[in-house]
Structure formats: C-alpha cells, structure tokens
Amino acid sequence: MHRFTIIFCFSLLLSSGAALAQDSQPAEKPLTEPEMTLSRLGNIILAIDPEAKFRGNAVELTIDDVPVLIVIDTRADRMRAMVPIRSAEGLEPDKLLRLMQANFDSALDARYAVAQGRLWGVFIHPLSPLQKDQLLSALVQTVGLARTFGTTYSGGANVFGGGDSNQIYRDLLEELQQRGEVI
C-alpha cells in the first residue's frame, strides 16, 4: 500500500506539472548582444584601457597594473586572453599539482597553462558568441590567476571563506563593466 501511495503521488505531480506547463505562457526570449567582432572587441578594450596597443591580431593592455595579451583568430572564430605569470622553468611538482587542482575547482573559466617557457593565466573562447560581460569576467579571472598564484590559485569570482577576495574581484568586475558601459 505504501508503494502504491508513492507511485500515485508521483504520477499526480507529473500530471499537474504537465498541466501547469501547458497553461503557462512561453518565456520571453532574452535579448542578445550583437556578435563579437574585431571592431566591437577593440572598442571594449579601449574603454578598459585607452592606451591599449593593437598589433596585428593581438592587443596588449593593462588592467590594475597587470599586463594582458589578447590574441584573435577570426578565421578560426577564437580569442585567447592571456596574463603572463612567471617562468615555467623550475616550477616544483607540488605547485604543478596545485595548478591542476585549481584548474578543476577554483580557476573558474580561466585556466593555468604553460607555453613558450612561461606559466600563463588564460581564457579561450569562440569569438563571435562572446558577450561583453563574459569578456570582462574572463579578464578579471585571468588577472586573478596571476595575482593568486602561490596562494589561493583562484580566478576570483567564487572564493569560499570569509576573506576579502570576493569583494576585491567584484569591485574590479564592476569597474570594468562601468568602463565598458557604452559598448
């Protein structure tokens, strides 16, 4: 009898949910941003750092005294934001293990990577669907990876605990959003 009651209640829930779904109005489609182009990306970057340097398919800018390099490949529809952290030479095995752990849980959408003999904070994404706030968050996260190397190894947007890190990264994200508001 108990099993029958559970099955009956479950079927009532399913049927009432289906009825509610039929009665409800379709959700409004969210407004979408225009496609990210080189020109749009350039305007956002100049709003962040008016002294950014454009060199071919790369842009160099500075965010809070941290150098950032953005490389764009329009044919592959990809972009990569990178922050140099240090030489990869001499990275101890325990630090390499910690980097890999951070890539799993605390680096968020950015990642630690090794290339050309350097340790980098990187964010890689398709270019055209990239939204302005995704780009700004990516820049905050890559800067965060550089700043927290050797301590929390965090992209910054979600840090557990009662410290100051969350507010510091929120403040930086809000500052970048305000600079890019007209875009």
Provide the 10 A C-beta neighbour count for residue 37: 14
Question: φ, ψ for residue 29 (rounded to 5)?
Answer: -70, 130
pLDDT at position 107 is: 85
Q: Which residue has the tokens 């507010």?
A: 167
Map out the domains of the chain as residue ranges: 38-179
pLDDT at position 82 is: 98
DSSP letters of 34-47?
Answer: PPP-HHHHHHHHHH
Q: What is the pLDDT of residues 11-51, one digit of tens each?
A: 333 344 444 344 444 455 456 889 999 999 999 999 999 99
pLDDT at position 164 is: 53
Report how far apart the first and last C-alpha atoms of the chain are (Å, whole number): 63
Q: What is the pLDDT along the chain (183 residues), one digit of tens a residue?
A: 444 333 333 333 334 444 434 444 445 545 688 999 999 999 999 999 999 999 999 999 999 999 999 999 999 999 999 999 999 999 999 999 889 888 888 888 999 999 999 999 999 999 999 999 999 999 999 999 999 998 888 887 555 444 555 666 677 778 888 876 665
pLDDT at position 30 is: 55
Close Cβ partners of 43 (under 8 Å, ≥ 6 residues apart): 183
Question: φ, ψ for residue 81 (rounded to 5)?
Answer: -100, 130
Provide the 10 A C-beta neighbour count for residue 44: 20
Counting every residue written for the chain, the total comes to 183
Asked whether the CA dihedral 18, 24, 26, 32 is positive or negative, the reply is negative
Task: Considering the domain delimited by 38-179, tell me its CATH architecture.
Answer: 2-Layer Sandwich (3.30)
pLDDT at position 32 is: 80
Q: Give the span between the Cα atoms of 180 and 177, in whole angstroms.
A: 5
pLDDT at position 157 is: 54
